[in-house]
Amino acid sequence: MTSPQQSVVLSVEGLTRDYPGVRAVDDVSFSIQNGHVHCLIGENGAGKSTLVKMLTGALAPTSGAMMVNGAAYTPDSPHAARECGIATLFQELHVVDELNVLENLTLGMERSRFGFLIKSDLEDRVIQTLAAIEPSIDPQARVSSLSVAQKQIIEIARAASSGANVIIMDEPTAALSEREVERLFGVIRRLRESAVTVIYISHKLDEILELGDAVTVLRDGKHIATKPLSDIAGRSELIEMMIGRTVFQDYTPRTTVTDETVLVAKGLTNTLLRDVSFHINKGEIVGFYGLVGAGKTEIARAMFGADEVTGSIMFKGQAIGRSPKEAIAAGIALVPEERRTQGLFIDMTIRENIPVMNLRHMSDKGVFRSSEARTAAVEYVEKLNIATDSIEKHTEKLSGGNQQKVVLAKCLFSKADLLLLDEPTRGVDVGAKAEIYEIIKDLADEGNSVAVFSSELEEVLGICDRVFLLFDGSLEGEIQNGKDVDIAHILNVVTGGFEGAVQ
């Protein structure tokens, strides 16, 4: 007879999730044992996030089935998932700094009648749960005084005291110090001893090997393997399962790259970045590649002056990095990762969006030359092949790919010498991707420098001349693109293995 410790607590069978034109999760089947730390790994875009959203009720499967403790499981919301004993800890903490620990632990679980709180054993129960998990945390302490790791432990205790027997942790160590990571690992081991199952999602393979009982590998939306970690022969086998294919490289060496250095960054450091240094040459396309939490966006924002950072950034001999206004004036433009919220005025038209980064050249003594704005909009709609029937169309009505082209048009019209492109093709279709890649190459061939910050390996290997490899806020490697690129080496570096990091 199977012991409770070895029984299946959660299983999925033929789970599939389709989006228009994309199958994000493709016929995935596996099971998770009770009281195990079950790790979930895969490259960016492997389907991990979509799978977790289905497990937590945030998304409905297109097809397939899920079971919890042998019973059909069909959550229609995260609340319904919690009612079935499945709780999730996301990277963004959901604690209230102004409240104390006890108030956070009971938040949302209070009992009331006619709008009045009624006394229950809830407080005693959550205090006992917290003491069992991490007795050093004072229930009366204000949460704002605690470390990030302690705040995570509060969320874990809240989930455990609510009756959850499966806790999903998504990149829980992304913002933790080494000492805090060890503390968190101790908490996870105590949960395992209490027969609580932890689904642990991380790009840090050393954590997987140290902490996990079993691992499930996803690749391109498909289930590759589920194995006990005792059967895994170290990092190399995990990487082999994650890759399992030849990464398509369409890179052609470019002849327009010069030896003239236009940007030098030294010792960039902030809450995430750790002593990052690099240079970019004129006419060069450089890539910054890393997994979740590696620091790609933070480097882009530091170069654009959007985030405070220590260290120095010199662009064409001029110190920059204090503000976006300063960066734009120096000749740097940023295409942000979140185009709808940070890159566009979605309630404005194409014609109104394109000139906004270069308004000083579109006005004369405070009078805006609208005819020139119209001419510029028409020019860039044609140049970038933006699919629209009118430059007066509001950008919110465009497809994702065409919205991205409008953001690019804004940056091109600013006459920038260095373009920072953060996830430039995220959420766009294959055809739009190809067009954007051609635009990037044409810009570089004209003598502009381009920095591409991407979580897609094929993207940076397809268009970049050099690629910087990032892990946990540090620049851990640099490769010169070409025929002899070692994909396994790249994955080893960006998942925390630094041996021989520079090629």
Query: Which tens digit of pLDDT belongs to each residue from 215-229?
Result: 999 988 999 999 999
CB atoms within 10 A of CB 433: 18
Per the CB < 8 A criterion, the answer to whether 200 and 37 are in contact is yes
Helix, strand, coil percent content, the chain, rounded in steps of 5: 35, 25, 35
Q: Has residue 370 got a pLDDT over 80? A: no
CA atoms within 13 A on the CB side of 295: 25
3-state secondary structure labels for all residues of 189-201: HHHHHCCCEEEEE
- Name the strands in the sheet holding 261-269, side by side, starting at the edge strand that comes first in the sequence: 276-281, 261-269, 310-315, 318-320
Measured CA to CA, the distance from residue 212 to residue 464 in angstroms comes to 36
Per the CB < 8 A criterion, the answer to whether 463 and 285 are in contact is yes
The predicted pLDDT at position 84 comes to: 92
Domains of the chain: 4-243 (3.40.50.300), 261-342+415-494 (3.40.50.300)
Binned at pLDDT 50, 70 and 90, residue 477 comes out as: very high
More confident: 397 or 313: 313
More confident: 411 or 14: 14
Q: Residue 421: CB partners within 8 Å, gap ≥ 6? A: 335, 440, 450, 451, 452, 453
The predicted pLDDT at position 465 comes to: 94
Of 282, 248, 268, nearest to 437 by C-alpha is 248
Coil, strand or helix: which one is 470? strand
Q: Has residue 344 got a pLDDT over 60? A: yes
Backbone angles phi, psi at 142, to 5 degrees: -70, 135
More confident: 347 or 260: 260
Maximum average pLDDT range among 139-143, 254-258, 357-361: 139-143
Coil, strand or helix: which one is 478? strand
Measured CA to CA, the distance from residue 478 to residue 158 in angstroms comes to 43
Maximum average pLDDT range among 79-83, 236-240, 261-265, 269-273: 261-265
Q: Has residue 17 got a pLDDT over 60? A: yes
Q: Has residue 250 got a pLDDT over 80? A: no
The predicted pLDDT at position 117 comes to: 47
Structure tokens belonging to residue 66: 């899920």
Maximum average pLDDT range among 118-127, 159-168, 170-179: 159-168
The predicted pLDDT at position 2 comes to: 40
Query: Could you read off the pLDDT of 306-332 as tens digits, one per residue?
Result: 999 999 999 999 999 889 889 988 989
384-392 mean pLDDT: 83
More confident: 192 or 360: 192
10-19 mean pLDDT: 94
Residue percentage of the chain with pLDDT more than 70: 88
Q: Residue 76: CB partners within 8 Å, gap ≥ 6? A: 57, 60
Measured CA to CA, the distance from residue 375 to residue 327 in angstroms comes to 26
Binned at pLDDT 50, 70 and 90, residue 500 comes out as: very low
The predicted pLDDT at position 79 comes to: 87
Terminus-to-terminus CA distance in the chain, angstroms?
54
Q: Tell me the average pLDDT of the chain.
A: 84
Q: Is 48 left (phi over 0), alpha (psi -120 to 50) or beta?
A: alpha
Structure tokens belonging to residue 390: 């009118």
Measured CA to CA, the distance from residue 475 to residue 501 in angstroms comes to 10
Q: Has residue 245 got a pLDDT over 60? A: no
Binned at pLDDT 50, 70 and 90, residue 363 comes out as: low
Of 194, 187, 192, 193, nearest to 172 by C-alpha is 187
More confident: 140 or 115: 140
Least confident range from 11-15, 371-375, 426-430, 490-494: namely 426-430
Query: Could you read off the pLDDT of 77-126 as tens digits, one per residue?
Result: 988 998 899 988 876 677 888 888 888 888 766 555 545 445 556 777 78
Residue percentage of the chain with pLDDT more than 90: 36
Burial code (b: 16+ CB inside 10 Å, e: under 16) for 311-339 equals bebbbeeeebbeeeebbbebbbbbbbbeb
The predicted pLDDT at position 148 comes to: 76
Least confident range from 51-55, 140-144, 313-317, 425-429: namely 425-429
Q: Has residue 5 got a pLDDT over 50? A: no
The predicted pLDDT at position 358 comes to: 66
59-67 mean pLDDT: 95
Q: Has residue 389 got a pLDDT over 50? A: yes
Measured CA to CA, the distance from residue 336 to residue 342 in angstroms comes to 6
DSSP for 361-399 reads: GSEETTEE-HHHHHHHHHHHHHHTT---S-TTSBGGGS-
Backbone angles phi, psi at 165, to 5 degrees: -110, 0
Per the CB < 8 A criterion, the answer to whether 496 and 477 are in contact is no
Least confident range from 18-22, 182-186, 458-462: namely 18-22
3-state secondary structure labels for all residues of 395-458: HHHCCHHHHHHHHHHHHHHCCCCEEEEECCCCCCCHHHHHHHHHHHHHHHHCCCEEEEEECCHH
Binned at pLDDT 50, 70 and 90, residue 498 comes out as: low
Measured CA to CA, the distance from residue 373 to residue 369 in angstroms comes to 7
Maximum average pLDDT range among 58-67, 74-83, 144-153, 337-346: 58-67
The predicted pLDDT at position 110 comes to: 53
**pTM for the full predicted model:** 0.68
Structure tokens belonging to residue 149: 């790791």
Segment holding 167, helix H or strand E: strand 166-170
